[in-house]
Amino acid sequence: MSFYYRRLLIKPSLSCTLYYSVCFSLLICCPLYAAQFDALEYSASINQAWDNNLFRAKQNASSDQITTFRAGVRFDKDYSLQRFLVDVNYVDYQYQKNDLLEFDAVNYNAAWFWSLTPSLTGTISTRKNKALLGFADFRTFAQNIRTDEYNVFRAEYSPYKVWSLILGFT
């Protein structure tokens, strides 16, 4: 059994393949959105990059393929005058030739945006980010990892919205 479509003969195996490829491409092309007030969101990605001169050497350039896997979860919820935000990501760097550079990290950002009254508000937050830096300014053949950690307390009192008194610690 064959199908004719505008003078084109399509065999059943080809028509099934064509049908599934169109359906698959529509799934990939259509963006997916979370509901507006979803408190919990998930994310994942895989990136591949090719570096022709990984260590930025003038002679004996070393090339490598770098694969980065990321997975994360984000929680963002309002309760009355309070807002809670937690964002956690797992990152895994894999190198095809240079195994000594491989590493994984758990990065996070958590904050509590508190409010006792509309005039007295503040933030308590913590953040950690760990990343592998490039070799443009670092000339050894070892891991160059930067870890940033921040802990913040901030309070703001603004009774008439004309002036504010701000207190903060970092």
Q: By C-alpha distance, which of 154, 150, 99 is closest to 129?
A: 150
| Mean pLDDT (the chain, rounded) | 82
pLDDT exceeds 80 at position 24: no
> Minimal CA–CA distance to 2: which of 131, 10, 81, 68?
10
Please write down the long-range contacts of 26-32, taking CB distance under 8 Å and 24 or more positions apart: none
Residues 6+ apart with CB under 8 A from 81: 114, 115, 116, 118
Residue 19 pLDDT > 90, yes or no? Answer: no
pLDDT at 4: 45
What is the percent of the chain with per-residue pLDDT over 70, rounded to a whole number? 75
For residue 21, pLDDT beyond 70: no
2: tokens are 């064959």
Q: What is the pLDDT of residue 150?
A: 96
Task: Give 60-110 pLDDT, tens digit per residue.
Answer: 888 889 999 999 999 999 998 899 999 999 999 999 988 888 889 999 999
What is the structure's pLDDT at 1? Answer: 46
Average pLDDT of the residues in 14-20: 50
From the CB of residue 91, how many other CB atoms can be counted at a distance below 10 Å?
19
Of 138, 59, 151, nearest in space to 101 by CA: 138
Residue 16 has pLDDT above 60, yes or no: no
pTM of model > 0.85: no
The arithmetic mean of pLDDT across residues 20-31, rounded, is 54
Determine the average pLDDT of the residues in 126-130. Answer: 97
* Torsion 49-55-57-63 (CA) sign: negative
Q: Which amino acid, one-letter code, is at 31? A: P
Per-residue confidence (pLDDT) for residue 92, from 0 to 100: 95
| CA distance readout (Å), 131 to 30, 89, 103, 107 | 32, 12, 9, 9
Closest CA to 103 of 66, 139, 73: 66
Sheet holding 103-115, edge to edge: 40-51, 64-79, 82-95, 103-115, 120-132, 145-157, 165-169
**Average of pLDDT values for 132-145?**
75
- Per-residue model confidence (pLDDT) at position 41: 94
